[in-house]
Structure 1
Amino acid sequence: MEPSKKPLRIDIVSDVVCPWCVIGYRQLAIALEQTGTTHTIHWHPFELNPNMPSEGQNLREHIIEKYGSTKQESDASRIRMAEAGREVGFEFNFNDDTRMHNTFNLHQLLHFADQQGRMHDLKQALFVAHFTNNRDISDINVLADIAAETGLDRSEALAVLEGQFFAKEVRTEEQHWQQQGIQSVPAVIFNERHLVSGAQGVDNYISILEQLATMPD
Protein backbone atom coordinates (compact mmCIF):
# COMPACT_ATOMS: atom_id res chain seq x y z
CA MET A 1 0.00 0.00 0.00
CA GLU A 2 1.34 3.46 -0.88
CA PRO A 3 2.52 5.44 2.16
CA SER A 4 0.42 8.43 1.03
CA LYS A 5 -2.85 6.60 1.57
CA LYS A 6 -4.86 7.35 4.68
CA PRO A 7 -5.08 4.56 7.25
CA LEU A 8 -7.99 2.23 6.55
CA ARG A 9 -10.85 3.04 8.93
CA ILE A 10 -12.44 -0.13 10.31
CA ASP A 11 -15.67 0.08 12.32
CA ILE A 12 -16.65 -3.16 14.08
CA VAL A 13 -20.15 -3.58 15.49
CA SER A 14 -20.09 -6.50 17.91
CA ASP A 15 -21.07 -8.00 21.24
CA VAL A 16 -18.69 -9.48 23.81
CA VAL A 17 -20.80 -12.66 24.20
CA CYS A 18 -20.75 -13.35 20.44
CA PRO A 19 -18.14 -16.08 19.75
CA TRP A 20 -17.95 -15.31 16.04
CA CYS A 21 -17.17 -11.68 16.90
CA VAL A 22 -13.89 -12.62 18.57
CA ILE A 23 -13.12 -15.23 15.89
CA GLY A 24 -13.87 -12.74 13.10
CA TYR A 25 -11.79 -10.02 14.73
CA ARG A 26 -8.82 -12.38 15.19
CA GLN A 27 -9.10 -13.44 11.53
CA LEU A 28 -9.16 -9.80 10.46
CA ALA A 29 -6.20 -8.93 12.71
CA ILE A 30 -4.11 -11.70 11.09
CA ALA A 31 -5.10 -10.45 7.62
CA LEU A 32 -4.18 -6.87 8.57
CA GLU A 33 -0.78 -8.01 9.79
CA GLN A 34 -0.09 -10.20 6.76
CA THR A 35 -1.00 -7.40 4.32
CA GLY A 36 0.77 -4.69 6.34
CA THR A 37 -2.38 -2.57 6.20
CA THR A 38 -2.19 0.69 8.13
CA HIS A 39 -5.51 1.02 9.93
CA THR A 40 -7.57 2.33 12.81
CA ILE A 41 -10.20 0.20 14.58
CA HIS A 42 -13.36 1.60 16.15
CA TRP A 43 -15.59 -0.71 18.22
CA HIS A 44 -19.36 -0.17 18.48
CA PRO A 45 -22.04 -1.74 20.70
CA PHE A 46 -24.60 -4.37 19.77
CA GLU A 47 -26.62 -6.46 22.22
CA LEU A 48 -27.46 -10.01 21.22
CA ASN A 49 -29.92 -10.27 24.11
CA PRO A 50 -31.11 -6.81 25.18
CA ASN A 51 -34.13 -8.23 27.02
CA MET A 52 -32.21 -10.84 29.00
CA PRO A 53 -32.24 -10.32 32.78
CA SER A 54 -28.95 -9.15 34.28
CA GLU A 55 -28.13 -12.55 35.81
CA GLY A 56 -28.14 -14.14 32.35
CA GLN A 57 -29.03 -17.71 31.43
CA ASN A 58 -27.28 -21.05 30.98
CA LEU A 59 -25.80 -20.93 27.48
CA ARG A 60 -27.00 -24.34 26.34
CA GLU A 61 -30.55 -23.66 27.56
CA HIS A 62 -30.43 -20.27 25.86
CA ILE A 63 -29.32 -21.68 22.50
CA ILE A 64 -31.93 -24.44 22.59
CA GLU A 65 -34.64 -21.91 23.51
CA LYS A 66 -33.62 -19.21 21.03
CA TYR A 67 -32.72 -21.33 18.01
CA GLY A 68 -34.49 -24.62 18.69
CA SER A 69 -31.16 -26.46 18.62
CA THR A 70 -30.76 -29.94 20.02
CA LYS A 71 -28.02 -30.76 22.54
CA GLN A 72 -26.14 -32.58 19.77
CA GLU A 73 -26.31 -29.53 17.49
CA SER A 74 -25.19 -27.32 20.37
CA ASP A 75 -22.21 -29.61 21.06
CA ALA A 76 -21.25 -29.70 17.37
CA SER A 77 -21.42 -25.91 17.22
CA ARG A 78 -19.15 -25.59 20.27
CA ILE A 79 -16.60 -27.95 18.70
CA ARG A 80 -16.68 -25.92 15.48
CA MET A 81 -16.21 -22.64 17.36
CA ALA A 82 -13.39 -24.04 19.50
CA GLU A 83 -11.58 -25.24 16.36
CA ALA A 84 -12.05 -21.87 14.62
CA GLY A 85 -10.74 -20.20 17.78
CA ARG A 86 -7.64 -22.42 17.90
CA GLU A 87 -6.84 -21.50 14.28
CA VAL A 88 -6.56 -17.82 15.30
CA GLY A 89 -4.98 -18.35 18.72
CA PHE A 90 -8.07 -17.93 20.88
CA GLU A 91 -9.15 -20.44 23.52
CA PHE A 92 -12.82 -21.25 24.13
CA ASN A 93 -13.54 -23.16 27.34
CA PHE A 94 -17.20 -24.11 27.07
CA ASN A 95 -18.70 -26.19 29.86
CA ASP A 96 -22.13 -27.12 31.17
CA ASP A 97 -22.18 -24.00 33.36
CA THR A 98 -21.20 -21.51 30.64
CA ARG A 99 -23.69 -18.66 30.65
CA MET A 100 -25.12 -16.13 28.21
CA HIS A 101 -25.26 -12.62 29.63
CA ASN A 102 -26.99 -9.31 29.17
CA THR A 103 -24.17 -7.01 28.02
CA PHE A 104 -25.56 -3.50 28.49
CA ASN A 105 -23.18 -2.85 31.41
CA LEU A 106 -20.22 -4.11 29.40
CA HIS A 107 -20.95 -1.64 26.62
CA GLN A 108 -21.14 1.20 29.15
CA LEU A 109 -17.77 0.13 30.55
CA LEU A 110 -16.33 0.01 27.02
CA HIS A 111 -17.65 3.53 26.40
CA PHE A 112 -15.86 4.64 29.57
CA ALA A 113 -12.67 2.90 28.42
CA ASP A 114 -12.88 4.59 25.02
CA GLN A 115 -12.59 7.99 26.68
CA GLN A 116 -9.19 6.92 27.98
CA GLY A 117 -7.93 5.19 24.86
CA ARG A 118 -8.41 1.72 26.37
CA MET A 119 -11.47 0.41 24.58
CA HIS A 120 -9.61 -2.03 22.35
CA ASP A 121 -7.65 -3.49 25.27
CA LEU A 122 -10.78 -3.84 27.40
CA LYS A 123 -12.74 -5.46 24.56
CA GLN A 124 -10.06 -8.14 24.17
CA ALA A 125 -9.89 -8.65 27.95
CA LEU A 126 -13.66 -9.11 28.13
CA PHE A 127 -13.60 -11.71 25.34
CA VAL A 128 -10.97 -13.68 27.30
CA ALA A 129 -12.77 -13.23 30.62
CA HIS A 130 -16.02 -14.58 29.19
CA PHE A 131 -14.99 -17.30 26.76
CA THR A 132 -11.62 -18.50 28.12
CA ASN A 133 -11.86 -17.93 31.87
CA ASN A 134 -15.64 -18.23 32.40
CA ARG A 135 -15.72 -15.19 34.68
CA ASP A 136 -19.12 -13.85 35.72
CA ILE A 137 -19.41 -10.76 33.55
CA SER A 138 -22.90 -10.04 34.89
CA ASP A 139 -21.26 -9.07 38.21
CA ILE A 140 -20.25 -5.39 38.21
CA ASN A 141 -17.45 -6.12 40.69
CA VAL A 142 -15.95 -8.63 38.26
CA LEU A 143 -16.26 -6.05 35.47
CA ALA A 144 -14.50 -3.48 37.63
CA ASP A 145 -11.71 -6.01 38.28
CA ILE A 146 -11.28 -6.60 34.55
CA ALA A 147 -11.21 -2.84 33.94
CA ALA A 148 -8.47 -2.49 36.56
CA GLU A 149 -6.50 -5.33 34.95
CA THR A 150 -6.44 -3.35 31.68
CA GLY A 151 -5.13 -0.21 33.38
CA LEU A 152 -8.37 1.61 34.19
CA ASP A 153 -9.25 2.97 37.62
CA ARG A 154 -11.31 0.32 39.41
CA SER A 155 -13.33 2.69 41.58
CA GLU A 156 -14.17 4.90 38.58
CA ALA A 157 -15.22 1.85 36.57
CA LEU A 158 -17.44 0.65 39.41
CA ALA A 159 -18.99 4.10 39.76
CA VAL A 160 -19.80 4.14 36.04
CA LEU A 161 -21.63 0.82 36.36
CA GLU A 162 -23.42 1.60 39.61
CA GLY A 163 -24.56 4.98 38.30
CA GLN A 164 -25.34 3.77 34.75
CA PHE A 165 -23.47 6.89 33.64
CA PHE A 166 -23.32 6.04 29.94
CA ALA A 167 -26.67 4.29 29.51
CA LYS A 168 -28.03 7.01 27.23
CA GLU A 169 -24.91 7.17 25.05
CA VAL A 170 -24.84 3.40 24.56
CA ARG A 171 -28.56 3.22 23.72
CA THR A 172 -28.15 6.04 21.19
CA GLU A 173 -25.23 4.33 19.48
CA GLU A 174 -26.96 0.94 19.43
CA GLN A 175 -29.98 2.56 17.77
CA HIS A 176 -27.74 4.31 15.24
CA TRP A 177 -26.28 1.01 14.01
CA GLN A 178 -29.68 -0.67 13.97
CA GLN A 179 -30.94 2.18 11.80
CA GLN A 180 -28.01 1.50 9.45
CA GLY A 181 -29.48 -1.98 8.96
CA ILE A 182 -27.12 -3.91 11.25
CA GLN A 183 -29.14 -6.85 12.58
CA SER A 184 -26.41 -9.42 13.23
CA VAL A 185 -22.79 -9.34 14.29
CA PRO A 186 -19.93 -9.15 13.68
CA ALA A 187 -20.49 -6.37 11.17
CA VAL A 188 -17.30 -4.80 9.81
CA ILE A 189 -17.44 -1.53 7.89
CA PHE A 190 -14.38 -0.48 5.92
CA ASN A 191 -13.87 3.24 5.23
CA GLU A 192 -17.47 3.91 6.31
CA ARG A 193 -18.91 2.43 3.12
CA HIS A 194 -18.04 -1.26 2.60
CA LEU A 195 -19.99 -3.60 4.93
CA VAL A 196 -18.82 -7.16 5.52
CA SER A 197 -20.94 -9.40 7.75
CA GLY A 198 -19.86 -12.44 9.74
CA ALA A 199 -16.48 -14.05 10.36
CA GLN A 200 -15.05 -14.26 6.84
CA GLY A 201 -11.85 -16.21 7.40
CA VAL A 202 -8.28 -14.94 7.06
CA ASP A 203 -8.01 -15.53 3.29
CA ASN A 204 -11.23 -13.68 2.53
CA TYR A 205 -10.19 -10.74 4.70
CA ILE A 206 -6.83 -10.62 2.91
CA SER A 207 -8.67 -10.52 -0.42
CA ILE A 208 -10.96 -7.72 0.83
CA LEU A 209 -7.99 -5.69 2.13
CA GLU A 210 -6.12 -6.10 -1.15
CA GLN A 211 -9.16 -4.90 -3.10
CA LEU A 212 -9.57 -1.91 -0.79
CA ALA A 213 -5.90 -1.02 -1.21
CA THR A 214 -6.44 -0.48 -4.96
CA MET A 215 -9.38 1.89 -4.43
CA PRO A 216 -8.87 5.66 -4.34
CA ASP A 217 -9.28 7.34 -0.94
Structure 2
Amino acid sequence: MSETIPALRIDIVSDIVCPWCVVGYRQLAEALKQTHTAHEIHWHPFELNPDMPTEGQNLREHIMEKYGSSQQESDASRIRITEAGAEVGFEFNFTDDTRMHNTFKAHQLLHWAADYGLKHELKQALFAAHFTDNRNISDEEVLADIAEDVGLNREQALAVLADQRYAEVVRTAEQQMQQQGIQSVPAVIFNQRHLVSGAQGAENFKSILNQLAAMK
Protein backbone atom coordinates (compact mmCIF):
# COMPACT_ATOMS: atom_id res chain seq x y z
CA MET A 1 0.00 0.00 0.00
CA SER A 2 1.50 3.32 -1.08
CA GLU A 3 2.05 6.03 1.50
CA THR A 4 -0.02 9.17 1.07
CA ILE A 5 2.15 12.27 0.66
CA PRO A 6 0.82 15.08 2.87
CA ALA A 7 -0.15 18.33 1.20
CA LEU A 8 2.49 21.03 1.30
CA ARG A 9 1.48 23.74 3.77
CA ILE A 10 2.03 27.20 2.34
CA ASP A 11 1.59 30.27 4.54
CA ILE A 12 1.50 33.55 2.62
CA VAL A 13 1.88 36.86 4.41
CA SER A 14 0.68 39.70 2.23
CA ASP A 15 -1.24 42.95 1.89
CA ILE A 16 -3.96 43.64 -0.64
CA VAL A 17 -2.29 46.85 -1.82
CA CYS A 18 1.05 45.13 -2.48
CA PRO A 19 1.43 44.60 -6.25
CA TRP A 20 4.26 42.10 -5.90
CA CYS A 21 2.04 40.05 -3.61
CA VAL A 22 -0.32 39.52 -6.55
CA VAL A 23 2.50 38.73 -8.94
CA GLY A 24 4.31 36.49 -6.47
CA TYR A 25 1.20 34.48 -5.66
CA ARG A 26 0.40 33.95 -9.33
CA GLN A 27 3.98 32.85 -10.02
CA LEU A 28 3.72 30.39 -7.16
CA ALA A 29 0.34 29.15 -8.39
CA GLU A 30 1.82 28.44 -11.81
CA ALA A 31 4.73 26.56 -10.24
CA LEU A 32 2.34 24.50 -8.12
CA LYS A 33 0.34 23.66 -11.23
CA GLN A 34 3.36 22.65 -13.28
CA THR A 35 4.81 20.48 -10.51
CA HIS A 36 1.42 18.93 -9.60
CA THR A 37 2.12 19.73 -5.97
CA ALA A 38 -0.66 18.92 -3.50
CA HIS A 39 -0.91 21.96 -1.26
CA GLU A 40 -2.96 24.02 1.14
CA ILE A 41 -2.64 27.80 1.28
CA HIS A 42 -3.09 29.89 4.41
CA TRP A 43 -3.25 33.68 4.01
CA HIS A 44 -1.99 35.97 6.78
CA PRO A 45 -2.49 39.74 7.20
CA PHE A 46 0.14 42.42 6.81
CA GLU A 47 -0.39 46.17 6.50
CA LEU A 48 2.06 48.15 4.43
CA ASN A 49 0.49 51.40 5.62
CA PRO A 50 -1.31 50.87 8.93
CA ASP A 51 -1.52 54.64 9.50
CA MET A 52 -3.10 55.38 6.13
CA PRO A 53 -6.23 57.52 6.67
CA THR A 54 -9.63 56.25 5.58
CA GLU A 55 -9.75 58.58 2.59
CA GLY A 56 -6.46 57.15 1.33
CA GLN A 57 -3.82 59.01 -0.67
CA ASN A 58 -2.92 59.44 -4.31
CA LEU A 59 -0.65 56.50 -5.11
CA ARG A 60 2.05 58.47 -6.90
CA GLU A 61 2.22 61.03 -4.09
CA HIS A 62 2.36 58.22 -1.54
CA ILE A 63 5.21 56.39 -3.28
CA MET A 64 7.20 59.57 -3.77
CA GLU A 65 6.77 60.53 -0.11
CA LYS A 66 7.41 57.09 1.35
CA TYR A 67 10.38 56.04 -0.76
CA GLY A 68 11.72 59.38 -1.98
CA SER A 69 11.07 58.34 -5.58
CA SER A 70 10.90 60.76 -8.45
CA GLN A 71 7.88 60.79 -10.74
CA GLN A 72 10.03 59.17 -13.43
CA GLU A 73 11.04 56.38 -11.07
CA SER A 74 7.43 55.93 -10.00
CA ASP A 75 6.29 55.69 -13.62
CA ALA A 76 9.05 53.22 -14.46
CA SER A 77 8.01 51.08 -11.51
CA ARG A 78 4.42 51.07 -12.72
CA ILE A 79 5.56 49.83 -16.12
CA ARG A 80 7.59 47.01 -14.55
CA ILE A 81 4.69 45.98 -12.34
CA THR A 82 2.18 46.11 -15.21
CA GLU A 83 4.44 43.96 -17.39
CA ALA A 84 5.02 41.47 -14.58
CA GLY A 85 1.26 41.29 -14.04
CA ALA A 86 0.61 40.64 -17.71
CA GLU A 87 3.06 37.74 -17.63
CA VAL A 88 0.96 36.01 -14.96
CA GLY A 89 -2.43 36.99 -16.36
CA PHE A 90 -3.25 39.84 -13.99
CA GLU A 91 -4.25 43.32 -15.12
CA PHE A 92 -2.82 46.32 -13.30
CA ASN A 93 -4.69 49.46 -14.27
CA PHE A 94 -2.70 52.38 -12.88
CA THR A 95 -4.03 55.87 -13.53
CA ASP A 96 -3.17 59.36 -12.31
CA ASP A 97 -6.06 58.98 -9.84
CA THR A 98 -5.09 55.56 -8.45
CA ARG A 99 -5.10 55.72 -4.67
CA MET A 100 -3.46 53.84 -1.82
CA HIS A 101 -5.98 52.70 0.77
CA ASN A 102 -6.05 51.52 4.36
CA THR A 103 -6.53 47.72 4.41
CA PHE A 104 -7.33 47.01 8.06
CA LYS A 105 -11.05 46.52 7.41
CA ALA A 106 -10.35 44.31 4.42
CA HIS A 107 -8.13 42.06 6.52
CA GLN A 108 -10.91 41.74 9.09
CA LEU A 109 -13.31 40.71 6.35
CA LEU A 110 -10.80 38.14 5.10
CA HIS A 111 -10.56 36.64 8.57
CA TRP A 112 -14.35 36.31 8.67
CA ALA A 113 -14.47 34.81 5.17
CA ALA A 114 -12.29 31.92 6.36
CA ASP A 115 -15.24 30.64 8.40
CA TYR A 116 -17.05 30.01 5.11
CA GLY A 117 -14.08 28.62 3.18
CA LEU A 118 -13.95 31.73 0.98
CA LYS A 119 -10.88 33.53 2.24
CA HIS A 120 -8.82 32.68 -0.83
CA GLU A 121 -11.59 33.75 -3.21
CA LEU A 122 -12.10 37.02 -1.35
CA LYS A 123 -8.37 37.72 -1.37
CA GLN A 124 -8.22 37.38 -5.14
CA ALA A 125 -11.33 39.53 -5.56
CA LEU A 126 -9.82 42.25 -3.37
CA PHE A 127 -6.62 42.24 -5.42
CA ALA A 128 -8.67 42.75 -8.60
CA ALA A 129 -10.89 45.39 -7.00
CA HIS A 130 -7.90 47.46 -5.92
CA PHE A 131 -5.46 47.05 -8.80
CA THR A 132 -7.68 46.39 -11.82
CA ASP A 133 -10.89 48.24 -10.99
CA ASN A 134 -9.48 51.04 -8.77
CA ARG A 135 -12.21 50.56 -6.16
CA ASN A 136 -11.94 51.97 -2.65
CA ILE A 137 -11.25 48.88 -0.55
CA SER A 138 -11.39 50.86 2.69
CA ASP A 139 -15.06 51.67 2.07
CA GLU A 140 -17.39 49.34 3.96
CA GLU A 141 -20.08 49.35 1.27
CA VAL A 142 -17.52 48.46 -1.40
CA LEU A 143 -16.10 45.68 0.76
CA ALA A 144 -19.58 44.29 1.36
CA ASP A 145 -20.26 44.30 -2.38
CA ILE A 146 -17.04 42.39 -3.05
CA ALA A 147 -17.88 39.90 -0.30
CA GLU A 148 -21.30 39.32 -1.87
CA ASP A 149 -19.69 38.80 -5.28
CA VAL A 150 -17.71 35.81 -3.97
CA GLY A 151 -20.74 34.24 -2.27
CA LEU A 152 -20.73 35.77 1.20
CA ASN A 153 -23.71 37.40 2.90
CA ARG A 154 -23.60 41.14 2.33
CA GLU A 155 -25.49 42.13 5.49
CA GLN A 156 -23.28 39.90 7.62
CA ALA A 157 -20.22 41.45 6.01
CA LEU A 158 -21.44 44.92 6.93
CA ALA A 159 -22.10 43.78 10.50
CA VAL A 160 -18.58 42.35 10.79
CA LEU A 161 -17.13 45.67 9.62
CA ALA A 162 -19.42 47.76 11.80
CA ASP A 163 -18.69 46.09 15.12
CA GLN A 164 -14.99 45.41 14.40
CA ARG A 165 -15.33 41.97 16.00
CA TYR A 166 -12.13 40.70 14.39
CA ALA A 167 -10.01 43.82 14.87
CA GLU A 168 -7.96 42.44 17.77
CA VAL A 169 -7.55 39.05 16.10
CA VAL A 170 -6.11 40.68 13.00
CA ARG A 171 -3.81 42.96 15.02
CA THR A 172 -2.52 39.95 16.94
CA ALA A 173 -1.92 38.00 13.75
CA GLU A 174 0.02 40.90 12.27
CA GLN A 175 2.15 41.22 15.39
CA GLN A 176 2.91 37.50 15.39
CA MET A 177 4.26 37.69 11.86
CA GLN A 178 6.39 40.71 12.72
CA GLN A 179 7.74 38.88 15.76
CA GLN A 180 8.83 36.10 13.44
CA GLY A 181 10.96 38.64 11.61
CA ILE A 182 8.70 39.33 8.65
CA GLN A 183 9.06 43.00 7.76
CA SER A 184 8.19 42.94 4.06
CA VAL A 185 5.80 41.12 1.77
CA PRO A 186 5.13 38.86 0.06
CA ALA A 187 6.58 36.33 2.47
CA VAL A 188 5.97 32.68 1.69
CA ILE A 189 6.60 30.02 4.32
CA PHE A 190 6.71 26.38 3.25
CA ASN A 191 5.82 23.71 5.82
CA GLN A 192 6.21 26.33 8.57
CA ARG A 193 10.00 26.11 8.21
CA HIS A 194 11.28 27.55 4.94
CA LEU A 195 10.81 31.29 4.35
CA VAL A 196 11.01 32.76 0.86
CA SER A 197 10.63 36.52 0.37
CA GLY A 198 9.47 38.40 -2.69
CA ALA A 199 8.11 37.48 -6.10
CA GLN A 200 10.62 34.80 -7.07
CA GLY A 201 9.32 33.92 -10.52
CA ALA A 202 7.59 30.70 -11.54
CA GLU A 203 10.85 28.93 -12.43
CA ASN A 204 12.46 29.70 -9.09
CA PHE A 205 9.32 28.61 -7.26
CA LYS A 206 9.37 25.37 -9.26
CA SER A 207 12.95 24.78 -8.18
CA ILE A 208 12.00 25.42 -4.54
CA LEU A 209 9.04 23.04 -4.77
CA ASN A 210 11.21 20.32 -6.31
CA GLN A 211 13.79 20.75 -3.55
CA LEU A 212 11.09 20.45 -0.90
CA ALA A 213 9.68 17.34 -2.57
CA ALA A 214 13.14 15.77 -2.56
CA MET A 215 13.44 16.39 1.19
CA LYS A 216 10.40 14.22 2.00
Q: Same fold (TM over 0.5)?
A: yes
Aligned partner letter, 2:29: A
What do you get for the CA RMSD once the two structures are aligned? 0.9
The TM-score normalised by the length of structure 1 is 0.98
Matched residue SS, 1:12: strand
Aligned partner letter, 2:122: L
Matched residue SS, 2:116: coil
Matched residue SS, 2:44: strand
Matched residue SS, 1:111: helix
Q: How many residues align?
A: 215
Instruction: State the Cα distance separating 1:101 from its structure 2 match.
Output: 0.8
Q: Distance in 2 between matches of 1:130 and 1:88?
A: 17
Within-5 A mapping of 1:56-205: 56-205=56-205
Structure 2: 5+ residue runs without aligned partners?
none
1:214 alignment counterpart: 214
Instruction: State the Cα distance separating 1:4 from its structure 2 match.
Output: 2.1
Task: Spell out, residue by residue over 1:105-153, the C-alpha distance to the aligned partner (whole angstroms, 9 max, x if none).
Answer: 0000000101111000000000000000111112110000000000000
Aligned partner letter, 2:22: V
2:33 alignment counterpart: 33
Matched residue SS, 1:47: coil
User: Percent same amino acid at aligned positions?
Assistant: 73
Q: Distance in 1 between matches of 2:138 and 2:34?
A: 36
Aligned partner letter, 2:145: D
Matched residue SS, 2:195: strand
Instruction: State the Cα distance separating 1:3 from its structure 2 match.
Output: 6.3
Q: Distance in 1 between matches of 2:71 and 2:175?
A: 34
| Inter-CA distance 186–113: structure 2 relative to 1 (3 Å threshold) | same
Q: Distance in 2 between matches of 1:147 and 1:40?
A: 22
| Structure 1 moving runs of 4+ over 3 Å | none
Q: Distance in 1 between matches of 2:138 and 2:171?
A: 18
Instruction: State the Cα distance separating 1:76 from its structure 2 match.
Output: 0.3
Matched residue SS, 1:115: helix
Q: Distance in 2 between matches of 1:149 and 1:82?
A: 25
Structure 1: 5+ residue runs without aligned partners?
none
Q: Distance in 1 between matches of 2:33 and 2:15?
A: 23
Instruction: State the Cα distance separating 1:54 from its structure 2 match.
Output: 1.4
Q: Distance in 1 between matches of 2:3 and 2:98?
A: 46
1:21 alignment counterpart: 21
Task: Spell out, residue by residue over 1:9-61, the C-alpha distance to the aligned partner (whole angstroms, 9 max, x if none).
Answer: 00000000000000000000000000000000000000000111111110000
Aligned partner letter, 2:110: L
| Inter-CA distance 116–68: structure 2 relative to 1 (3 Å threshold) | same
Aligned partner letter, 1:173: A
